[in-house]
């Protein structure tokens, strides 16, 4: 942020500040003395390490300051946009999970057949496809042609459908491939052969013995992808004109509004850490040996 060419003081005093009640001043009228005073008021006259240390100390007490552009408390802006981002991320993760695990299992069971080939090919396409491009295609060919699916905005559950589909495509493709690989590896183990030799139903063999052990790497990826989903909302919220943390973060970057950017980045980082903690807890549920160790 500090390396960007736009001066935060100039951004505040010119057209960027006009919408927040501040008087817009032509750039040519901004004297060095005025800009220096504005920087001093914003705390930008202090060394970078002092600015960062002060912010960390305040953040540890839950104080994120005020937006330089809107003058509103950053915590208020985050609170009003947080639920939109979480809804989108969780719904996209749910779509990716519900579809990818069954597809991976089916591909593993039909290993070498046309179903396996089709699922694997679609997974490769999904991993390679840019999310923003898929979002634009969904808006063009679905949102503009299906009346009950809004192409942009927020407000109802149906507003989540297109951005969640676009956001979930990477997770869907990746988890499908990992589930398939893990199931193939587990199904070749001796305890699966023993379970089948005892005459157990194939559904019990696959569901209780194979899938439970194959899910451990999958759960790891799901936890990591929750963090990726939070970051991916930055793109999707702007493509689909949705409110959310990602959208206000992008606007803050262009306006050099440091307090908003720092708070959003911190929140995404905390979300990533919490997701990994949940993954570790889930290990103990899936594999009792983890609890014993």
pTM of the model: 0.79
For residues 82 and 8, the model is more confident at: 82
Question: Per-residue pLDDT for 22 more than 50?
Answer: no
CB 205 within 8 A of CB 109: no
CATH topology of domain 74-292: MetI-like fold (1.10.3720)
pLDDT at 162: 92
What percent of the chain clears pLDDT 90, i.e. is strictly above it?
A: 15
Q: What residue segments make up the domains of the chain, in order of their start? A: 8-46, 74-292
| DSSP designation for 73 | B
**Cα three-residue angle 170-174-179, rounded to 5 degrees:** 145
Question: Per-residue pLDDT for 19 more than 60?
Answer: no
What percent of the chain clears pLDDT 70, i.e. is strictly above it?
A: 90
Q: How far apart are CA 235 and CA 167, in angstroms?
A: 9
pLDDT digits (tens, 9 = 90+) for 101-143: 899 988 988 888 899 899 989 989 988 888 889 999 999 999 8
pLDDT at 292: 53
pLDDT at 42: 81
């Amino acid at each position: 942020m500090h390396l960007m060419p736009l001066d935060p003081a100039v951004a505040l005093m010119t057209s960027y500040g006009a919408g927040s009640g501040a008087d817009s001043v032509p750039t040519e009228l901004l004297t060095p003395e005025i800009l220096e005073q504005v920087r001093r008021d914003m705390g930008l006259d202090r060394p970078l390490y002092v600015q960062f240390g002060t912010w960390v100390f305040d953040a540890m007490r839950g104080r994120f300051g005020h937006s330089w552009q809107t003058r509103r408390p950053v915590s208020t802006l985050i609170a009003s946009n947080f639920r939109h981002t979480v809804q989108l991320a969780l719904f996209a993760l749910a779509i990716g999970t519900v579809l990818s695990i069954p597809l991976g299992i089916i591909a593993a069971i039909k290993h070498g057949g046309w179903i396996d080939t089709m699922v694997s090919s679609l997974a490769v396409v999904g991993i390679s496809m840019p999310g923003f491009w898929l979002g634009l295609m969904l808006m063009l060919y679905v949102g503009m042609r299906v009346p009950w699916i809004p192409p942009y905005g927020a407000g109802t559950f149906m507003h989540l459908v297109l951005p969640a589909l676009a956001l979930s495509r990477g997770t869907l493709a990746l988890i499908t491939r990992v589930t398939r690989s893990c199931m193939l590896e587990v199904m070749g183990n001796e305890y699966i052969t023993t379970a089948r030799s005892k005459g157990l139903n194939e559904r019990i063999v696959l569901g209780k013995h194979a899938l439970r052990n194959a899910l451990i790497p999958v759960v790891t990826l799901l936890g990591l992808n929750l963090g990726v989903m939070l970051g991916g909302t930055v793109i999707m919220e702007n493509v689909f004109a949705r409110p959310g943390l990602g959208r206000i973060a992008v606007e803050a970057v262009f306006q050099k509004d440091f307090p908003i950017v720092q708070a959003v980045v911190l929140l995404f980082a905390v979300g990533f850490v919490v997701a990994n903690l949940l993954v570790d807890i889930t290990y103990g549920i899936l594999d009792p040996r983890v609890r014993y160790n």
